[in-house]
Each structure stands twice: as C-alpha cells, then as structure tokens.
Amino acid sequence: MTGPTVTGPTVTGPTVTVARPGPTRAVQIGGHVYPVRLPTWRDPRLHLAAVITTLQVLGQVALGFELSISQILAAILTCAVIEVAVVFRREQVIAWPASAMLTGNGVAFVLRVSGTRHGDWWSTNGIGIFVATAAFALATKYLVRFRGAHVFNPSNIGLVVCFLLLGPSRVNPLDLWWGPLSPALVVALTAIAVGAVAITVRLRMMGIVAGFWFTFAACIGVLAWSGHSMTARWHVGPVAGWSYWWILLTSPEILVFCFFMITDPRTTPRGRVARVAFGASVAVAASVLVALQTTEFGVKVSILGALASVCLLRPLLERWLPTPGLERDAPKAWVRDRIRGATASPLRIAARLGASVVLVLVLGVTLAALGTGARAATVHRGDARRPVVRGVAVPPVDVNTTNQVAAVTAAEARVMARDVVADLRIQTDALRGGDAALAATAGDRAWLVKLRRRIAHDGPDASEPAWRVKRITISTARRPHQGPPAILATLRGQRVPPGAGRPRGVTTTFEIAWDGREYLLVSDDMPPGWTRPA
C-alpha cells in the first residue's frame, strides 16, 4: 500500500494529475539551506492516510485488532526515516515522506505477530518483525525498478515475503472477518467507501477495481459452488458455500486490498484497457492460488501474493494492450474489436465468441479441479459409527457466551452435545472390550493416543465406569496464532461403575473437533486463558 511518489513538479497518469508539490519552504542546517517539500491537502496520499488511520483507530478501540500502537509507529517511522534519508541524499531536499508512511501504515495494518493481545497498546512483541518488514518493503521501491518505476507495491511485497518466510506460527495477516455488524464496523465500511470515491474515482482507477472485483466474484463463486472451504479462528467448522463467497467478497480487508492496494498508480498500467486486464489478472491469479488453500492464512497470503505476481507481468500488459490515450484504449471498443476483427463475418464472430466461452469454461473447470483437496465435509454422519449410539438422549445444552470466540448456534450446540454423549458411550465400550479400533471412532489426536496407550497397557477393563451426563455447556476458546477456535464441551454428571457400585459426581471439560462426519473427543487439556463456565 503506497501512494504516488512525488519527485518533481508533478507525477501524472495519462490524463490526470496524481499529486502536486506542496508549499516550498527552507531550513538552514550547518550553514546550508535546504528546501522543504510538503504535501498539499489535495494530495491523495493524505486522503488514503486518513482512511487507514481511521481504520487503525477503530481497530484499537472497537474492532479488537491484535496490534499495538508501538508496532504501528515502528513500521511507520522505519519507512519515514529511510525515505527522508534517501531523498535527502539524492536531491538535497527535506521531503515529507507521505508515500513511505503509507507503506509503513499498510504493513502495520495487515501484519499481526503471534502473542500480541488487543488492548496492550504499547506492547513491543515482535517489533523487530515490523521494522524488518517495513524496511524491506521500502527497499524494494528503490532497488527493484523497471524503466524508472518500482515494480512491486512496497507494502504488498514486504508482507508476502514476511508471511512466506516466517509462517503462521509467528505471523498472520489481519482477519478477513472483523466481527458482527456493529456501529464501529459500519463506520469502518463507510470510511472505506468514502475513501474509494475520494481516491479511486479521482485517480481513474475504477477500471482496475471493477476488473478485479467482478472477476474475483465469479471465480470464488465457482469455488464456493464446488464445495471449497477454509478453516478460520472466528468460525466453528469449515467456512463454505454462500458464507465462503460472501466473506471473501465483502471482507473489509479485501475491500482495502481492492480499492487501495492494487490501485497504486506507480505499479499499475497506464492504459484503461490494461488496467481492467491488470485487475482481472490479479483476480484470476488469486483465485487459482486460493483454490489450493484450506486455511484462512493460506487464502489471505494467496490474494496478496497474486498482486505481487501480476506486477511482474505489467510490462507485458502495457506492450500487448492499447497505448494510453489512443481512441481504441476503451474496454468496450477493445472487446468489440477483438470479437469482430477486421471483418464482420458472422462465422468469424461466432468462432471468437465460442473460443471465449471455452476459455471461461476451462478456467471454471480448472478452479473446481484445483480445489478438490479443500472440499467442505458438511454431512453429519451421526448414527453410522455404531448402532449403540442410535437413540442417544441429549441432555440439556447451554451455550457459554463468556468465553465466546466464534458463534455457536443452539442447533449446532445440540449436535455437538449429542456427539459427545455418543463418543463417551463408545469410549466406555472400547475400554471395557480393549478395542482400539472402536476407540478410534470416538476420539482423535491426543485423546485417541491416550485411549490406545491405555488399551495396550491394561487390556480390556470390565470395571470402566459409564458416563451419565446430566448437562453440557458448549463454549469456544481462542487458539494460539490464527487457527480454528477450540470447541469445548463442559460435562456435569456422574461416572457409574458396573454392578452396584456407587456413582461419582464429575464435572469435566473436553475439547472436541469436527472430523468431517461428527465431533470427536480430542483432548482434556484446556487452551491457556480459558475459564470454565460457572
């Protein structure tokens, strides 16, 4: 995310002035007089800075961003200092580093370091990562250039490299979902919309926005229709279907990417047709990469990486597509010329239309095929595991909201409770019969390891008490990093030994997880910071 760089009287696109120099002042340092270059209030970089700063403030006070003020300032100041030093060395001018500060703010807006908690405003956790990412991002602006302009959007390429090198255990992008509709979210969306009108329309970048958004909507629609899904820490179970499509298309993070990151005037083509093609190319590349991902981290990095990849192709788009300013540099006219060609022969027109349809179908089939490994398993198998679970009586079920991280509906909680009761019944049978294969249908991961060890060590245990569950409370807890939320079932009831033994009252909590068919017991170790519901 960056603004147009001002290094002379003006920086212009084909027909519109992007930025103008601010008032010229001067300061005297050590006997030398140096000009001071300031931006004007009409500079679009200041407008974009106002939008991102508004979102940052909302994130700190209302939207729960896991980001500290120290981390934001570290990224912004790193870029500002580098930019001031470079411009001063090259031009002997003290220039306000508007573009660099946007780069730093863009890095801080998206980057999250594991372990940072919302509300810890002056945390320096991972501050070196912010400094290094911001410095690398700005370095690409000066070191990776083609025909006098930087190749990559600085904040974009800095973030992509950071995420790929450090991985989701240490860093993550901002969540796609910012929470349920609230006054703060409405203000955030309004700020994005106003900024889009004030900046994108003024710079005549709506062609890129339209090319990206409509192409992305169609491609993600194919993925959603084919059953593609992802996991996210703010959602219980896979995000799939309509929710998958809607969240990816309307996420505030995607809107910021669409309106303010891919529209950087210095890293996009100048022609109108080339800009539409540029936006559409980013959307296609993003969709192909997203089709291979099953996690929110992978989805977000794929979208960011798509822009970095297509930036490398910008010279080819400018070479193959109409020259800016020419009469045929209009999307409608260009499409019409591609279809009709030099003649209006119906056969030739039909052939070209058919070829276009085939290309679209090939893209759709390719997306659906690439996403085979990320299909949403949404069919609840339930009774298919073992006849003994049929007719399981579900005890009263509560949904705990105190520790709530992701929403759980009453219907979902009842399904979870039913599976937990069935798991416990199957587990009792498996331990009494020493049946490790049966135990695998009731538990997974750490819990299954415990069951198998116990069976291997003790063999059949006819004294294993049965569970009599009287009430279940379902809640969620945040995991480290940005993994899916932990789903927790707190059971209150009794352990009843075989024969005439005396029941023993118990209250215990299990973590459960969806395996694509039902919820299984996976652990009795609780996530840090979680408190059992009263």
Domains identified in the chain and CATH numbers:
1-202 (no CATH), 204-378 (no CATH), 384-523 (3.10.450)
Quick check: 374 and 230 in contact, CB under 8 A?
A: yes
pLDDT of amino acid 382:
44
Q: Which range, of 72-81, 145-154, 242-251, averages the lowest pLDDT?
A: 145-154
Mean local confidence (pLDDT), 380-392: 53
pLDDT of amino acid 338:
67
CA distances to 91, 265, 291, 297 from 134, rounded to whole Å, are: 23, 20, 29, 20
Query: Regarding beta strands 466-477 and 397-399, do their DSSP bridges make them parallel or antiparallel, or are they unpaired?
Result: parallel
Taking alpha carbons only, the member of 194, 152, 203 closest to residue 45 is: 203
Mean local confidence (pLDDT), 34-60: 88
Q: Is residue 21 helix, strand or coil?
A: strand
Under the phi-then-psi rule, with left for phi > 0, alpha for psi from -120 to 50, and beta for the rest, what region is 165? alpha
Taking the C-alpha atoms of residue 197 and residue 528, their distance in angstroms, rounded to an integer, is 44
Taking the C-alpha atoms of residue 262 and residue 282, their distance in angstroms, rounded to an integer, is 8
pLDDT of amino acid 379:
43
Taking the C-alpha atoms of residue 253 and residue 174, their distance in angstroms, rounded to an integer, is 7
Q: Which range, of 76-85, 257-266, 341-350, 474-483, averages the lowest pLDDT?
A: 341-350
Question: What does the DSSP assignment read for 50-116?
Answer: HHHHHHHHHHHHTS--S--HHHHHHHHHHHHHHHHHHHHHHHS-EE--HHHHHHHHHHHHHEEETT-
Taking the C-alpha atoms of residue 50 and residue 81, their distance in angstroms, rounded to an integer, is 20
Helix (H) or strand (E) holding 365: helix 346-370
User: Residue 481: which pLDDT band, with cuts at 50, 70 and 90?
Assistant: low
Establish how many alpha carbons lie within 13 A of residue 432's alpha carbon, considering only the half-sphere containing its beta carbon. 13
Taking alpha carbons only, the member of 151, 244, 254 closest to residue 196 is: 254
Encode burial over 478-499: b for 16+ CB neighbours within 10 A, e otherwise: beebbbbbbbbbbbebebeeee
pLDDT digits (tens, 9 = 90+) for 254-284: 999 999 999 988 888 888 888 999 999 999 9
pLDDT of amino acid 4:
47
Taking alpha carbons only, the member of 491, 370, 500, 332 closest to residue 421 is: 491
The whole model's pTM is what? 0.81
pLDDT of amino acid 330:
74
